Structure 1
Amino acid sequence: MNPSPASHIIPSYSVPEIVSKEWFWIRGLKLESIIKILSLFTIIDGYIINQSLPIKKNIRVARIANGEQFDQAYYPYVVGLKIQIVDEETYCTGTLVSPRFVLTAAHCIEGSSFVEVYQTDPRNEDGEKREVIELFMHSLYNDTSFVGDLCLLKISKPFKNITSYANISGNPELFANETSLKCFIFGWGKNETGYPKYRANFASVWVKYGPNACEVPPDNYFIKDIVENTWKDFLCPVPNNRMACIGDSGGALMCQGFLFGITSHGYNYYPEMGHLKTECGDTRVQTRYIFIVIYRDWINNHLHGTSSTLKFNNLMFILISIVRFLLSI
């Protein structure tokens, strides 16, 4: 059953590390033996951050756990991303918000050299795809707090058979008096049985918004402070075993038929879990989604070509054209 429809150059950095022998999902790829567990707070599909040391390194972790497959014909705007970072490929999810623009998470694109958008599963090389020709990462993006974890991707040309796009909405007043809304999360990531071909996953979740919407670890003041100081930017599902997993980062959170949020990150909120990695589907994990209505002006400015960046580019184009004309006289 389907739910109801309705410029980037980021420097590299070094970090303190803890070494562990475990299986981890890293940037959408499963790696074995010795891996690096980074610190701060462990993140679903953004960063694994172990809760003690400063961190700054992407490690993709999770896909929709305990979800169901849906027919993409009902949700053609849910697209897959294949991202090249150095010599490694990673996967995320995006949402078409217009014929040429895909909205996703900034942490997915950070450090990338090449990005492709797939109409279906990005692991399916035979699927229709488009090259990303421009990236617009939000200027407020912070890879520790995940504020501004948004990126718009401009594709080379529209997909031929997609005519339906996600509409952005969301009003904080809908969540007044601790009201929860039933919403749906979407992604092309992994579930417990593997990677479904040609079908993406979705799951229903109850979502809250407000200063007390997110669960916080009582014994980790660093995470607690970050969550409490950034609550206005995030929607928080009530923790359960349905959540984003590997490849779902940047995916849609749909509420009342509209695009309310983008999959950002998650962390362990139970006490004494600072030394543990997050497990996809673990009820002790709190996930957070960027509340995109807060960023609607930024999104619309890029979609309609009115941002300062686009204005500057257009002005430069005009000036260059004038110079070329004068030189040709």
Structure 2
Amino acid sequence: MKVFVVLVSALASVSAGILPQVVPVPPKNRISRPSIEGRVTNGQNAVENQFPYQVGLSFSGSEGSWWCGGSIIDNSWVLTAAHCTSGASTVTIYYGATVRTSPKFTHTVSSSNWIQHANYLSLTLRNDISLIKTPSVTFSVAVNKISLPAIASSYSTYAGQTAVASGWGLTSDTSTSVARDLQFAHLTVITNSVCQATYGSLVVTSKVICVDGSNRTSICSGDSGGPLALDGTLIGVTSFGAEDGCEIGFPAGFTRVTSYLDWIKTNSGISA
């Protein structure tokens, strides 16, 4: 389950610290390659209604089409990644699906209905967050919102805690299409300083949250924009992983939701 930033090759050759030692890439640009020992990632199949806040997002634009995830945060709003909305003209939102192609219902909206962070920077995935305004949906056991973190949580790093990522992304580095069944994985949050050793501080800022990938359980292409949840609260939006693969053991990065609570409230009116 993972996502990516294409950084110019010159950046990759610079020493660690500020600049990355491992290059992150956008899922729509990632090329599948053989995985270590051919192992699949260690996610699990979700059961019906386990993640009612999870939506699938099928984007279309001049560059083609691509699949992302998102989180319902209100009857009329979905939160996802800016690298998912970037370059797209329309999106079809899949609600209440466990089997990806069998949602309870769908809505298709145009780019005029989303708000991409004005300071999104694709080079380093800075401010990788977008809001999608949707037709109002009626909540049910299959379709429901996830809570945003309390403002009081803004100072929490979450390091050492176990969160849950979900999505229909690739289940291995050799996969060529997104998953049929919704997958989830328990992932341990690591400190930003540990994550910076891999991706550098230009990518891993205070507005990023990282998880450990050493057991080869991770996010992958197609999971972009999807949720990282802790105790029923949305703490991260799937943003990036290593260019070389989802199973190679490097950390994965998420946009830190607590850093964008004011932005979310200003643009949608939603507060924790």
Query: Does TM, scored on the shorter chain, surpass 0.5?
Result: yes
Task: Give yes or no for contact 2:71–2:146 (8 Å, CA) kept in 1.
Answer: yes
169, 180, 185: which one aligns with 1:203? 185
Deviations 1:13-32 (Å, cap 9, x if unpaired)? xxxxxxxxxxxxxxx9xxxx
- Look up the SS of the partner of 2:101 in the other structure: coil
If you compute each CA radius of gyration, which structure gives the higher value, 1 or 2?
1
Equivalence map 1:1-329=2 (5 Å): 44-49=2-7, 51-52=9-10, 58-60=26-28, 61=30, 65-86=41-62, 88-119=64-95, 120=97, 124=101, 128-133=105-110, 134-158=113-137, 161=140, 164-169=144-149, 171-175=153-157, 179-192=159-172, 195-197=178-180, 199-210=181-192, 212-217=193-198, 224-227=200-203, 230-240=204-214, 241-267=216-242, 277-283=243-249, 285-304=250-269
Cα distance in 2 between the residues matched to 1:50 and 1:66:
31
Cα distance in 1 between the residues matched to 2:100 and 2:144:
23
Cα distance in 1 between the residues matched to 2:256 and 2:26:
21
The number of residues matched between the two structures is 242
- Look up the SS of the partner of 2:126 in the other structure: coil
- Look up the SS of the partner of 2:10 in the other structure: coil
Cα distance in 2 between the residues matched to 1:172 and 1:237:
18
Displacement after TM superposition at 1:126 (Å):
6.9
Displacement after TM superposition at 1:173 (Å):
4.3
Displacement after TM superposition at 1:71 (Å):
1.7
Q: TM-score, normalised by structure 2?
A: 0.77
Cα distance in 2 between the residues matched to 1:79 and 1:182:
22
- Look up the SS of the partner of 1:248 in the other structure: coil
Displacement after TM superposition at 1:152 (Å):
0.4
Cα distance in 2 between the residues matched to 1:127 and 1:305:
25
Give the aligned residue type for 2:79. L
- Look up the SS of the partner of 1:74 in the other structure: coil
- Look up the SS of the partner of 1:259 in the other structure: strand
Task: Specify the alignment match of 1:33 in structure 2.
Answer: none
Task: Give yes or no for contact 2:27–2:222 (8 Å, CA) kept in 1.
Answer: no
Task: Give yes or no for contact 1:130–1:157 (8 Å, CA) kept in 2.
Answer: no
Q: TM-score, normalised by structure 1?
A: 0.65
Coordinate RMSD, CA, aligned: 3.1
Cα distance in 2 between the residues matched to 1:304 and 1:131:
22
Give the aligned residue type for 1:233. K
User: What is the percent sequence identity of the aligned residues?
Assistant: 23
Task: Specify the alignment match of 2:36 in structure 1.
Answer: none
- Look up the SS of the partner of 1:226 in the other structure: coil
Displacement after TM superposition at 1:66 (Å):
1.7
Give the aligned residue type for 1:148. N
Displacement after TM superposition at 1:48 (Å):
4.3
Cα distance in 1 between the residues matched to 2:72 and 2:179:
21
Task: Give yes or no for contact 2:27–2:224 (8 Å, CA) kept in 1.
Answer: no
Task: Specify the alignment match of 2:15 in structure 1.
Answer: none
Give the aligned residue type for 1:79. V
Quick check: 246-255 or 128-137, which moved more?
128-137
Q: Which structure carries more relative contact order (alpha carbon 8 Å, separation 6+)?
A: 2
